[in-house]
């Protein structure tokens, strides 16, 4: 009996052990099968490759820390870095920090750096057509310029103008209507421009020259010293926000308006074409989107801050704000039309751009006369310069 019980128990134990062994073997087999499936899935899965990063340099024509203008370039770099998750970074250098301010265009064209910022009328010596993309005397305001770029063929023509220089331009925002400038003598008649040494770029400068003045082209960082030392008799710059910061009220007596020479000056970003086209498409789109964001941001800053700065100039610094006589404006307008025709005749591209600009101005001007102009002509007499 004992022997039978022993054998019975031994048999049960052996069977249990066998079953356990079989279970383990089965689990191992399943595990190996799953492992094979995973290996096959990994083989079929696409390889994960770290995305390439790009590091650019931007040079500008603006003085260091200049609000809105240089600030906007730094803001653009920050936004591009954020939106690209660090895949595209841009180091920004103010005018003179890496290259002289007025050599920015050439530096980007040559590929010495990948990006730049300025105002396109600085490059009139390269191609006369560049001037129309910044400002035309008695031309369109900021709203009209934006409509030409994005609703007309302005940007397309700008790209065509810059293509021979291996550059791709993007609108960088507008200053809005500028001030007429700082003068150390009154402008009572058009003859008062004769012999006047004035810092004024672009087509506006050519109008002053036609009126008998001597035009001096200076980067922003050199204007105050030149005005203070009498190297120039007058200067235009931007508007109250920047003119207050530059301290021009300490070197000139009269602050004239309106800015007939720059009624809606547009700023620019420009990129080396080879570098831009070497970016993946998504980074190109990010760069373009950031430019358009900064385009809107720039004008809002000028609109928001110029008024307070003007009141500071008037109330605290006792600046005499003077309107150009209508007779002077009429004479300047006649000369401006002559200058535009003369400059347009200098190159086929300038002629093409000038015609597009003029035709578009007629279209937006018709609407503007019964909208913006009608409203401001009504409201303006009810406002005071001192606010």
Pairwise CA distance, residues 99 & 135, whole Å:
25
Q: DSSP label at 115?
A: E
Worst-scoring range by mean pLDDT, 92-101, 252-261, 375-384?
A: 375-384
Q: How confident is the model at residue 45 (pLDDT cuts 50, 70, 90)?
A: very low
Q: How confident is the model at residue 32 (pLDDT cuts 50, 70, 90)?
A: low
Q: How confident is the model at residue 378 (pLDDT cuts 50, 70, 90)?
A: confident
Pairwise CA distance, residues 309 & 360, whole Å:
33
Q: Which CATH class is domain 54-174+265-301?
A: alpha beta
For residue 354, the model assigns a pLDDT of: 98
What is the rounded average pLDDT of the residues 247-256? 96
Write down the H helix ranges in 56-169.
69-83, 104-110, 142-151, 154-162
Provide the β-strand partners of residue 182: 235, 255
Q: How confident is the model at residue 368 (pLDDT cuts 50, 70, 90)?
A: confident
- The sign of the dihedral angle between the CA atoms of 9, 15, 19, 25 is positive
Residue-range domain boundaries for the chain: 54-174+265-301
What is the rounded average pLDDT of the residues 97-112? 97
What is the rounded average pLDDT of the residues 359-373? 86
Pairwise CA distance, residues 121 & 102, whole Å:
11
Q: How confident is the model at residue 25 (pLDDT cuts 50, 70, 90)?
A: very low
Residue 19: pLDDT above 50?
no
For residue 259, the model assigns a pLDDT of: 97
For residue 7, the model assigns a pLDDT of: 39
- Exposure string of 94-131, with b = 16+ CB inside 10 Å and e = fewer, is bbbebbebbbbbebbbeeebbbbbbbbbbbbebbbbbb
Helix (H) or strand (E) holding 23: helix 2-44
Residue 385: pLDDT above 80?
no
**DSSP letters of 187-218?**
--SGGGGTT-EEE--HHHHHHHHHTT-EEE--
The strand ranges marked E within 206-314 are 214-216, 234-235, 254-257, 266-272
- Summarize pLDDT for 156-166 with one digit per residue, the tens: 999 999 999 99
The strand ranges marked E within the chain are 54-60, 88-93, 115-118, 167-174, 181-183, 197-199, 214-216, 234-235, 254-257, 266-272, 320-323
> What pTM was estimated for this model as a whole?
0.83
Over the chain, what is the mean pLDDT?
89
Q: Where does residue 132 rank: exposed (0-12), middle (13-18), buried (19+ CB within 10 A)?
A: buried
For residue 381, the model assigns a pLDDT of: 67
For residue 386, the model assigns a pLDDT of: 57
Strand 234-235, strand 181-183: pairing:
antiparallel
For residue 383, the model assigns a pLDDT of: 60
Pairwise CA distance, residues 41 & 293, whole Å:
44
Q: In which residue are the tokens 């250098």 written?
A: 93
Residue 6: pLDDT above 70?
no
Residue 308: pLDDT above 90?
yes
Q: What is the CA radius of gyration of the chain?
A: 33
For residue 22, the model assigns a pLDDT of: 45
CB 146 within 8 A of CB 209: no
For residue 36, the model assigns a pLDDT of: 61
Q: Minimal CA–CA distance to 243: which of 231, 255, 253, 232?
A: 255
């Amino acid at each position: 009996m004992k022997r039978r019980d022993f054998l019975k128990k031994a048999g049960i134990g052996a069977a249990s052990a066998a079953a356990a062994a079989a279970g383990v073997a089965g689990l191992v087999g399943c595990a190996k099968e799953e492992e094979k499936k995973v290996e096959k899935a990994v083989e079929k899965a696409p390889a994960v490759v770290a995305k390439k990063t790009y590091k650019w340099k931007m040079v500008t024509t603006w003085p260091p820390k200049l609000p809105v203008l240089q600030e906007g370039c730094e803001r653009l770099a920050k936004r591009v870095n954020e939106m690209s998750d660090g895949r595209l970074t841009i180091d920004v250098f103010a005018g003179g920090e890496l290259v002289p301010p007025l050599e920015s265009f050439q530096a980007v064209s040559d590929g010495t750096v990948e990006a730049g910022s300025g105002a396109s009328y600085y490059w009139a010596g390269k191609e006369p057509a560049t001037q129309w993309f910044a400002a035309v005397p008695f031309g369109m305001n900021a709203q009209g310029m934006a409509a030409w770029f994005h609703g007309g063929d302005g940007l397309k023509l700008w790209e065509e103008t810059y293509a021979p220089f291996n550059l791709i331009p993007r609108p960088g925002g507008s200053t809005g209507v500028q001030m007429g400038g700082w003068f150390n003598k009154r402008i009572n008649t058009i003859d008062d421009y004769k012999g006047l040494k004035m810092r004024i770029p672009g087509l506006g400068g050519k109008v002053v020259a036609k009126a008998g003045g001597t035009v001096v082209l200076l980067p922003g960082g050199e204007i105050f010293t030149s005005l203070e030392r009498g190297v120039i008799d007058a200067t235009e710059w931007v508007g109250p926000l920047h003119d207050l910061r530059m301290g021009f009220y300490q070197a000139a007596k009269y602050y004239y308006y309106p800015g007939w020479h720059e009624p809606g000056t547009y700023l620019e970003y420009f990129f080396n074409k080879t570098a831009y086209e070497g970016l993946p498409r998504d980074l190109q789109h990010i760069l373009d989107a950031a430019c358009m964001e900064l385009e809107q941001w720039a004008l809002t800053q000028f609109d928001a801050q110029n008024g307070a700065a003007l009141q500071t100039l008037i109330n605290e610094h006792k600046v005499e704000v003077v309107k150009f006589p209508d007779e002077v404006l009429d004479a300047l307008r006649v000369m401006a039309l002559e200058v535009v025709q003369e400059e347009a005749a200098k190159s086929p591209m300038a002629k093409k751009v000038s015609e597009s600009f003029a035709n578009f101005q007629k279209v937006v001007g018709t609407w503007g006369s019964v909208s913006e102009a009608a409203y401001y002509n009504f409201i303006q007499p009810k406002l005071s310069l001192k606010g």
